[in-house]
Amino acid sequence: MKQPSKIFPISSSISDEGHLTISGYDTVTLAAEYGTPLYVFSEEDIRGRCREFATEFHRNGHHTRIVFAGKALLNIAILKIIAEAGLGLDTVSGGELEIASAAEFPMEKVYLHGNNKSDSELELALEKGVGRIVIDNPGEMFRLNRLAEDRGAKPKILFRIRPGIDPHTHAKISTGNIDSKFGFSLNEAMVSVPQAMALKNVEIVGFHYHIGSQIFEIQPFLDAMTTTLEFISEMQKVHGFVTQELDAGGGFAVQYLSDQKPPDIGVYAEAILGHFDNECGRLKIVPPGLTIEPGRGLIARAAVALYTVGVIKEIPEIRNYVCVDGGMADNIRPSLYGAAYEPYLANRMNETPDKVYTVAGRYCESGDILATDIELPAVKSGDVIVVPVCGAYCLPMASNYNGSLKPAVVMVHKGQARLIRRREVMADLLRCDIN
């Protein structure tokens, strides 16, 4: 058995036959058994990342709350593992709350975000008794207070602020800039905090920012923290408001390609926690409880996507297309963000790549490309393409474009492979249409 590159799930290996295995399961056999496209998750990887975040962010006596950003991947079986690991959950809609509830996720550990929450979503959050509601704008704060009064409730709230920091990531996944639809500007929050303090049916416990996703640089995390802690200090001086919680969001980058080198979680943790301690000391504020919300960093590397090669189209001196049976309907990230992936042949992991291919999907869009100009051994129809690092933001952003059926999902773990989401069937496509 050989070790595949670091971008595969923790429990991956290569069999004597040259097949990719995960937790001892041959991915080529899984593809034959469950069909493709197939997403295969490693339970060991998920558990390992939960432990890694906990260990690294609890260093030096810190009790950082780790809250999994469910938008990266929501599935009942996976939520049960996240809950068992003791993490919290960030949800962003009534729908996500219902999935958390179906997974019997402890509601006191659930956060509800969202920049345009409806009354019914706020009511659902009150009914379920979520731990935190993250307020995005002044109107929402007053609406929530009224809805909570009607029910005799007093939810704990955080204010989401826009610290005005550029995280130097893709523009579509930057969220803490001044020009953003998310959260309060500092000036707006300055006005709204005393108003919230005076409301009878909400308890303001602190502040939240999330500056973006897949952030390779450490400095933007530190800058956002400084800006927010200075604001917290100001709130204390001017309004006597003592912040209990600072929720610093997610955004930790993961390695998608063999030649990328994002910081390890321990490097982010050391820098962020050290900066937090120093800044609280400098500003002479009682350190609030710290929360982080990793999504991608926790789940992206836990899964691979498997596809079967169909048509191979070689256009002399132009490009060699390998067409697979999935694509943008199950992974929109390359089309939406120009995201780069590094596919391999799951059934020929040991063969030397000697030809350049572009892996295209099966959908009716020229932009339906999973990877451009990558090296693979000479590909044949029937080969199994494996795309690593597909655990985050692929399945939750999947669609039924071109009448496609969303893929099946299998979880492998020590001697057990189990279906955790069935493949959609044709009847699922017709379920909502009325004639």
Ligand X SMILES: Cc1ncc(COP(=O)(O)O)c(C=O)c1O
Ligand Y SMILES: N[C@@H](CCCC[NH3+])C(=O)O
Point out the residues that are catalytic.
Answer: 364
Which listed option, ligand Y, ligand X, none, makes contact with residue 232 (CB within 5 to 8 Å by class)? none
3-state secondary structure of 359: strand
Q: How far is the CB of 253 from ligand Y (least distance, A)?
A: 10
Q: Is the dihedral of CA 10, 24, 69, 409 positive or negative?
A: positive
Q: How far is the CB of 365 from ligand X (least distance, A)?
A: 25
Spatial neighbors of 260 by CB under 8 A, at least 6 apart, are none
132 assigned to a ligand binding site = no
Cα(358)–Cα(322) distance, integer angstroms: 6
Nearer to ligand Y, 173 or 186 (CB): 173
Q: Does position 333 bind ligand X by CB under 6 A?
A: no
Q: Which among 340, 334, 378 is positioned nearest to 356, based on CA atoms? A: 378
Q: Does position 325 bind ligand X by CB under 6 A?
A: no
Q: Which of residues 8-37 bind ligand X (CB under 6 A)?
A: none
251 assigned to a ligand binding site = yes
- Per the structure block, which two tokens stand in for 357? 């291919």
Q: Does position 77 bind ligand Y by CB under 6 A?
A: no
3-state secondary structure of 268: helix
Q: Which among 269, 278, 252 is positioned nearest to 68, based on CA atoms? A: 252
List alpha helices for 72-218, DSSP H.
76-84, 94-102, 119-128, 138-151, 186-198
User: Where does 298-352 show beta strands of DSSP type E?
Assistant: 303-315, 319-324, 344-345
Residues contacting ligand X: total by CB under 6 A: 17
337 assigned to a ligand binding site = yes
Cα(326)–Cα(335) distance, integer angstroms: 13
Which listed option, ligand X, ligand Y, none, makes contact with residue 333 (CB within 5 to 8 Å by class)? ligand Y
Which listed option, ligand X, ligand Y, none, makes contact with residue 388 (CB within 5 to 8 Å by class)? none
With beta carbons less than 8 A apart as the criterion, state whether 56 and 265 touch: yes
Nearer to ligand Y, 85 or 173 (CB): 173
Which listed option, ligand Y, ligand X, none, makes contact with residue 23 (CB within 5 to 8 Å by class)? none
Q: How far is the CB of 252 from ligand X (least distance, A)?
A: 6
Q: Does position 294 bind ligand X by CB under 6 A?
A: yes
Cα(398)–Cα(19) distance, integer angstroms: 27
Cα(428)–Cα(435) distance, integer angstroms: 16
Q: Does position 93 bind ligand Y by CB under 6 A?
A: no
With beta carbons less than 8 A apart as the criterion, state whether 410 and 417 touch: yes
Q: Does position 96 bind ligand X by CB under 6 A?
A: no
Residues in contact with ligand Y, shown as a per-residue x/- string from 196 to 225 under the rule CB under 6 A: -----------------xx-----------
Q: Does position 220 bind ligand X by CB under 6 A?
A: no
Q: Does position 393 bind ligand Y by CB under 6 A?
A: yes
Residues contacting ligand Y: total by CB under 6 A: 8
**Residue 130 CA: distances (Å) to CA of 9, 88, 106, 155, 160:** 32, 11, 9, 8, 17
Q: Is 312 exposed, middle or buried (0-12, 13-18, 19+ CB in 10 A)?
A: middle
3-state secondary structure of 420: strand
Following DSSP, what letter does each residue of 87-101 receive, concatenated?
A: -EEEE-SHHHHHHHH
Nearer to ligand X, 252 or 363 (CB): 252
Nearer to ligand X, 167 or 361 (CB): 167
Q: How far is the CB of 166 from ligand X (least distance, A)?
A: 15
Q: Which of residues 238-277 bind ligand X (CB under 6 A)?
A: 249-252
Q: How far is the CB of 201 from ligand Y (least distance, A)?
A: 29
> Which residues lie near ligand Y (CB under 6 A)?
71, 173, 175, 213-214, 333, 337, 393
The binding site for pyridoxal 5'-phosphate consists of: 251, 293-296, 393
Site of interaction with ligand X (CB under 6 A)? 69, 71-72, 90, 113, 175, 210, 213, 249-252, 293-297
